[in-house]
Structure 1
Amino acid sequence: MELVFAVSLLLIVHAYFGYPLSLKVLGRVRPKPVIRRYCQPPVTLIIAACNEERRIGEKLENTLALDYPREKLQVIVTSDGSSDGTNAIVRGYAAQGIGLHVCPERKGKENAQKEALEKATGEIVVFSDVSTMLDPQGISEIVANFADPSVGCVSSVDRVIGRDGKPCGEGFYVRYEMWLRKLESRANSLVGLSGSFFAARREVCRGFSGDMQSDFRMVLASNRMGLRGVSDPAAVGYYRDISDGRREFDRKVRTVLRGLTVMFHNLEFLNLFRYGLFSYQYFCHKLLRWLVPLFLATALTANAALSLKSTGYAALLAVHCGFYGIAAVGWWANSLPRGVVLKVPLYFVTVNAAIAVAWWRFISGKRMVMWSPSQR
C-alpha cells in the first residue's frame, strides 16, 4: 500500500508540476524561439455561430475594426443550423465584406468550420468564436508567427473580461494553462490550442474532421507534417467568464470528452521513436493529466488503509480529507472563494471531477459532436 500511495502521489505531482519543470529545463537548454515577422498574406477568418443573435452584432463590429488590409481578409460566418435571427443579422453586413455560409442542419461546430473551409481562399486560416473579442492588431499578431517555416498553427492567449467590458482577474485554471503553453512553445510545441481564437496554415487544415475537436486536432495535424504549434502572447482573445460554476463544470466535461475522442483516434503520437519529445508532451499534458482522477482515488484508498496502522498516515488522511472538504464547501457555497488557499482545492477537485465524469461517459460509449456555445 505504501508503494501504491507513493506512486500515485508521484504521478499526480508530475502531471501538474514535474512536466512543466521538465519543459522549463528543456527551454533553457535548447530553446526553440519563434521567428516572428509582420507580413500580410491572404487570410480567411472563420467565425462559427449557432443561435447567436444576442452577440453576433458585437462580434462583427469587432471584426470590422481589425487592422488588416480588407482586400486580404476574407471573413466567413458559418451558421450551424441557427434558428433565431443570427443569419439575418449577418446578411446585414454583406455590403461590408462579411460572408455567410448557412449549414441547413445543425451538426456541430467542427462541421460548420469544415464547410466554411471549402470556401476559404486565404493562405492562413483563422478560427474564432462569437464570444471572443480581438484587439485591432489581433490578426496581424497571430499571422506574424507564420514567418517561421517550422510553425504550422498558432494559439492565442486567453484573457477574461468583466461584465463592464474591461480586463479582470483571470481564473487559476486560465493562468496555469497560459503558463504551460508558454513553456511548451519555448521547448517544442503546444499540445492544444485555444479553441476560441487560433490560426493554421491552409495545408494543415487538409483532412479537417467535422466531428473532432479542431483546436486539439490541428496541433496533431501540424506535428504529423513535421511542423509545430506555438502560443503568441501578443495575440489575445478576450472573453467573458462563465459566472455559473455548475455550467462551467459541464463545459469542462464536454471539453475533456471531446479531447478523449481525439486522443484515442490518434494514439500514434504516443510513439516516442516517431514523434520524440512531442510524444512525451502528448502523454504528460493529455493522457497523464486525464488519469489524475484515478491516481487521486488510489492515493486516498491507500492512505485510508495505511491510516489504520500508522498515526502518521492517519494525520495525513485528515489533511487529505480536509483538502476535499474545503473544495466541497466552496462548491456548495456557489461562489468562488477569494483566498488562494481556498481557490486551489476547489479548482483542483472541480477539474478532476469533470475529467472523471468525462471518462465515465466516454467508457459508456457517449461522444460529444454537437456544440452549444457557452452563455457568458
Structure 2
Amino acid sequence: MEIILILSLLLVFHAYFGYPLTLKFISLFSSRPVKKEAYQPHVSLVITACNEERRIREKLENTLEIDYPREKLQVIVASDGSTDGTHEIVESYAQHGIELFVCPVRRGKENAQKEALQRTSGEIIVFSDVATRLDSHGISQIVSNFADPTVGCVSSVDRVIGRDGKPCGEGFYVRYEMWLRKLESRVYSLVGLSGSFFAARKEVCRDFSGDMQSDFRTVLASIRIGLRGISDPEAIGYYQDISDSRREFDRKVRTVLRGLTVLFHNLEFLNAARYGFFSYEYFCHKLLRWLVPLFLFTALAAHITLSFSSGFFTALLLIHLGFYAIAITGWLAKTLPTNVLLKIPLYFLTVNSAILVAWWQFVRGKRMVMWSPTQR
C-alpha cells in the first residue's frame, strides 16, 4: 500500500510538475528557437459564430482594427446554422470586406471551419471565435512565426479578463498552461493550441476534420507531415472569465470528451520509434494528465488503508482530506471564493472531477461534435 500511495502521488506530481521540469532541464542543453521575422503572406481569418448577435458586432469592430495589409487579409465569418440576427449584422460589414459564409444546418464549429476553408485564399489560415479580442498587431505577430519553415501551426497565449479585474481560478490555470506550452515550444512542439486564436499553414489544414477538436488535431496534422506547433507569447487572445463559474465544469467535460476522441483516433503518436520526443509530450500532456483522477482515487484509497496502522499516515490523511474539504467548501458556498488559497483547490477538484465525468461518458460511447459557445 505504501508503494501504491507513493507511486500514485508521484504520477500526479509528474503530470503537473515533473513533466514541465523535465522540459525545463532538457531546454538547458537542447532547444529549438523559432526563427521569427517580418513576414506578410496572404492570410485568411476564419471566425466561427453560432447565434452571436449579442457579441458579433464587437468582434467585427475589433477585427477592423487589425494592423495588417488589407489587400493581404481575407476575413470570413463562418456561421454554424445561426438562427438569430447574426447574419444581418455580418452582412452590414460587407463594405469593409468581411465575408459571410453560411452553413445552413448546424453541425458544429469544426464543420463550419472545414466548410469555410474551401473559400479561403490565404497561405496562412488564422482561426478565431467571437468571444476573443485580438490586439491590433495580433495577426502580424502570429504570422511572423511562419518565416520559420519548421513551423506548421502557431498558438496564441490566452489572457483571462476577470470581471473584478483580479486573477480567477481559471486565470491561474491558464497561466500554468501557457508556461507549459512555452517550455514545449522551446524543446520541440506543443501538443494543443488555443482554440480561440491559432494559425496554421494551408497544407496542414488539407486533412482538416469536421468532427474532431481542431485546436488539438491541427498539431497532430503538423507533426504528421514533419512540422511542429509552437506558442507565441506576443500573440495574445483576450477573453472574459465565465459569467457563472460553475459552468466551467460543463465546459471542461466537453473539452476533455472531445480531446479523448482525438486521442484514441490518433494513438499512433504514442509510438516513440516513429515520432520520437513528441510521443513523450503527447503521453504526458494528454493521456497522463487525463489519468490523474484515477491516481487521486488510488492514492486516497491507499491513504485510508494505511491510516489504520500508523499515526503518521493518519496525520497525512487528515491533510489529504483537508485539501478536498477546502475545495468542497468553496463549491458549496453561495458565492464563489475570492481567496487564492480557496480558488486553486476548488479549480483543481473541478478540473479532475470533469475529467472523470468525461471518461465515464467516453466509455459509455458518448461523443460530442456540437460545440456550444460558453456564455462569458
TM-score (norm 2): 0.98
CA distance in 1, matches of 2:4, 2:318: 19
Name the count of aligned residue pairs.
374
Whether the aligned pair in 2 keeps the contact of 1:245 and 1:334 (CA below 8 Å) is no
Residue 223 of structure 1 aligns with which residue?
Answer: 223
CA distance in 1, matches of 2:67, 2:195: 22
Residue 154 of structure 2 aligns with which residue?
Answer: 154
Question: Which letter does structure 2 place at the counterpart of 1:301?
Answer: A
Question: Which letter does structure 2 place at the counterpart of 1:345?
Answer: P
- Residue 24 of structure 2 aligns to a residue whose secondary structure is helix
Residue 26 of structure 2 aligns with which residue?
Answer: 26
Structure 1 segment 176-325 matched on structure 2, within 5 A = 176-325=176-325
CA deviation map 1:325-373 (0-9, x unaligned): 0000011115443333222211211110010010011001101100110
- Residue 198 of structure 2 aligns to a residue whose secondary structure is strand
- Residue 207 of structure 2 aligns to a residue whose secondary structure is coil
Question: Which letter does structure 2 place at the counterpart of 1:369?
Answer: V
CA distance in 1, matches of 2:12, 2:26: 21
Residue 79 of structure 1 aligns with which residue?
Answer: 79
Question: Which letter does structure 1 place at the counterpart of 2:54?
Answer: R
CA distance in 2, matches of 1:14, 1:76: 42
- Residue 180 of structure 1 aligns to a residue whose secondary structure is helix
CA deviation map 1:119-178 (0-9, x unaligned): 1110000000000010000000000000001100000001122459xx753521111111
Q: Which runs of 5+ in 2 are unaligned?
A: none
- Once the two structures are TM-superposed, the CA of residue 29 in structure 1 deviates from its matched residue by 0.9
Identity %: 72
Question: Which letter does structure 1 place at the counterpart of 2:249?
Answer: F
CA deviation map 1:291-332 (0-9, x unaligned): 000000000001101111111111111111111000000111
Residue 369 of structure 1 aligns with which residue?
Answer: 369
Distance 1:149 1:168, change over 3 A: farther
CA distance in 1, matches of 2:341, 2:106: 43
Residue 97 of structure 2 aligns with which residue?
Answer: 97
CA distance in 2, matches of 1:286, 1:258: 12
CA deviation map 1:274-307 (0-9, x unaligned): 1111000000000000000000000000110111
Residue 8 of structure 2 aligns with which residue?
Answer: 8
Whether the aligned pair in 1 keeps the contact of 2:23 and 2:184 (CA below 8 Å) is yes
Whether the aligned pair in 2 keeps the contact of 1:151 and 1:229 (CA below 8 Å) is yes
Question: Which letter does structure 2 place at the counterpart of 1:60?
Answer: L
Whether the aligned pair in 2 keeps the contact of 1:35 and 1:145 (CA below 8 Å) is yes
CA deviation map 1:56-104 (0-9, x unaligned): 0000011111000111000000000000000111011111100011001
- Residue 375 of structure 2 aligns to a residue whose secondary structure is coil
- Residue 76 of structure 1 aligns to a residue whose secondary structure is strand
- Residue 28 of structure 2 aligns to a residue whose secondary structure is helix
Distance 1:271 1:334, change over 3 A: farther
Question: Which letter does structure 2 place at the counterpart of 1:354?
Answer: A
Question: Which letter does structure 2 place at the counterpart of 1:25?
Answer: F
Distance 1:162 1:16, change over 3 A: closer
Whether the aligned pair in 2 keeps the contact of 1:160 and 1:168 (CA below 8 Å) is no
- Residue 77 of structure 1 aligns to a residue whose secondary structure is strand
CA distance in 2, matches of 1:92, 1:265: 41
- 171-180 or 289-298: which moved more? 171-180
Q: Does 1:38 align with 2:38?
A: yes
Distance 1:335 1:24, change over 3 A: farther
CA distance in 1, matches of 2:243, 2:107: 27
CA deviation map 1:35-74 (0-9, x unaligned): 0011110000000000000000000011111000111000
Question: Which letter does structure 2 place at the counterpart of 1:169?
Answer: P
Q: Does 1:141 align with 2:132?
A: no
Q: Which runs of 5+ in 1 are unaligned?
A: none
Residue 332 of structure 2 aligns with which residue?
Answer: 332
CA distance in 1, matches of 2:118, 2:248: 33
2:167 aligns with one of 156, 166, 169: 169
CA distance in 1, matches of 2:291, 2:161: 32
- Once the two structures are TM-superposed, the CA of residue 243 in structure 1 deviates from its matched residue by 2.8
CA distance in 2, matches of 1:135, 1:110: 24
